[in-house]
Amino acid sequence: MFRKNYSVIEAREYDLSVFDVIDERKKTETHWYHIMPEQWTVYTTLFKRSDKPRTWGVMKVEIEKNDEPYMEFLRNYPSLPFLYVEQNGQEFAITSTDYQCITIINLTTKEMKTYCDADDIKHGAGFCPIGFDWDEGDLYVDGCIWGCPEETMIAREIDLNNPIDAFNNADWQSDYDDEPYVEDEDDDDWEDEVENC
């Protein structure tokens, strides 16, 4: 894997007035959602443009603390990877505002930064996180480049307030390295696609 040029990018802006609500506000209870302390709750609402039915839409994510609005953000994909972590006395949410990026929210200070390989996302070739895990200071990011085999980025000894070095020097693992390819008669382009990953 070769995603080695992470930087901070500006969050995209969306005008929700041109979108319709297609999935009402609900508490997030997916298997990607790691347990947070009781004072935190995450809600999502899914929006889509009726004049562009083949697009993904936008997800509004609202974070509440003690049942009061705390902060919110928008995501350009209809599912939400999300992980709660404590580090050095501060609380963090690791998530994704852009489907090709990693977003780290310092819940203590409300600072939110989104990281990705800016050159890759221009072409839709960024690494897409689908789930996060945490193990004693190491962040595991499961995902893939769109259409390619799933891989795990391991950002070791990451400082969540300043993660760029850990992202750019991450280890990469693939569950598919040792699995034999089984040819599919209906998928003649599969090997060519993987070679281009």
Question: Looking at the domain assignment, is residue 1 inside a domain?
Answer: no
Domain count, the chain: 1
Strands (DSSP E) contained in the chain are 6-9, 20-27, 40-48, 58-65, 68-75, 83-87, 90-95, 102-106, 111-117, 127-135, 138-145, 151-155, 171-174
Select, from the ranges 2-11, 101-110, 125-134, the one with the highest average predicted confidence (pLDDT): 101-110
Question: Looking at the domain assignment, is residue 49 inside a domain?
Answer: yes
Question: Looking at the domain assignment, is residue 77 inside a domain?
Answer: yes
Using the predicted structure, report yes or no on whether residue 69 has a pLDDT greater than 60.
yes
Question: Looking at the domain assignment, is residue 17 inside a domain?
Answer: yes
Strand 20-27: give its sheet, edge to edge.
20-27, 40-48, 58-65, 68-75
Question: Looking at the domain assignment, is residue 46 inside a domain?
Answer: yes
Range of the domain at 169: 6-195
Question: Looking at the domain assignment, is residue 110 inside a domain?
Answer: yes
Question: Looking at the domain assignment, is residue 143 inside a domain?
Answer: yes
Using the predicted structure, report yes or no on whether residue 124 has a pLDDT greater than 90.
no
Q: How confident is the model at residue 37 (pLDDT cuts 50, 70, 90)?
A: confident
pLDDT tens-digit series, residues 71-112: 999 999 999 999 999 999 999 999 999 999 999 999 999 999
